[in-house]
Amino acid sequence: MTEAEVLQKLNEVFRDLFDLPDLELAYSMSAEDIDEWDSVNHVMLVVQIEREFKIKFHTAEVEEMKNVGDLVKLVLGKLNTAASR
């Protein structure tokens, strides 16, 4: 999966979960830019991303996710690790 594909899939998750059909994710976006992205929804978001990409985040990683760019990098890294195994 390429970086662009990961971003696109994440975009769909954000749209469905937050009911924002027109949302266009950008790397620099963080929770502060999206009202719906509060701490409660963050938990949902993480669970859904884990399911969507069939990956599991480390407890520490979840706390370090600050913006969309971090998220894409993290997901991509996990997918690559899984693929090289």
Partner 1 sequence: MLPSELTWLPGQPEWNDYLKRVAALESASTWDALVELANARLDMMTTIRLDRQLLKLFKDCPGSLQTKPIRLAVLGSSTVDHLHAGIRIGALRRNMWVSLYQGNYGQYVQDLHDAASSLHAWAPNTMLFAFDARHLLAGYQVGESADASQARVKATIDRIVQSWKTARSKFACEIIQQTILPIYPRLVGENESRLPGSPAALVRSINEQLRTRAHEEGVTLLALDQWAAEDGIAAWHDPALWHRAKQEVHLAAMPMYGDIVARILAAQQGKSRKCLVLDLDNTLWGGVIGDDGIEGIVLGQGSALGEAFCDFQRYAKDLARRGVILAVCSKNDEKNALLPFEQHQDMILRRDDIACFSASWGDKATAIRAIARQLNIGLDAIVFADDNPFERNIVRRELPMVAVPELPDDPAFYAATIARAGYFESIAMTAEDAMRTQQYRANIERESERENATDLPSYLKSLEMKLHWSRFTHADQARVVQLINKTNQFNLTTRRYSSDDVANLLDQPAVLPLQMRLVDKFGDNGIISIVIGYMVDQTIDLDTWLMSCRVLGRQVEQAVLGIVVEQARRMGAHRLVGHFRPTEKNGMVAEHYLRLGFSALPGRAPDQQFELHLDTYTTVPTFFDITESQHDRSRSITKTQ
Chain positions 42 to 81 lying near partner 1, rule: CB under 8 A, are 43-44, 46-48, 51, 57, 59, 62
C-beta closer to partner 1: residue 46 or 76? 46
- Nearest distance, CB of residue 40 and partner 1, angstroms: 8
Q: Output the DSSP codes for 32-78.
A: GG-TT--HHHHHHHHHHHHHHHT----HHHHHH--BHHHHHHHHHHH
- Nearest distance, CB of residue 58 and partner 1, angstroms: 8
By the 10 Å C-beta count (0-12 exposed, 13-18 middle, 19+ buried), 69 is classed as: middle
- Nearest distance, CB of residue 61 and partner 1, angstroms: 10
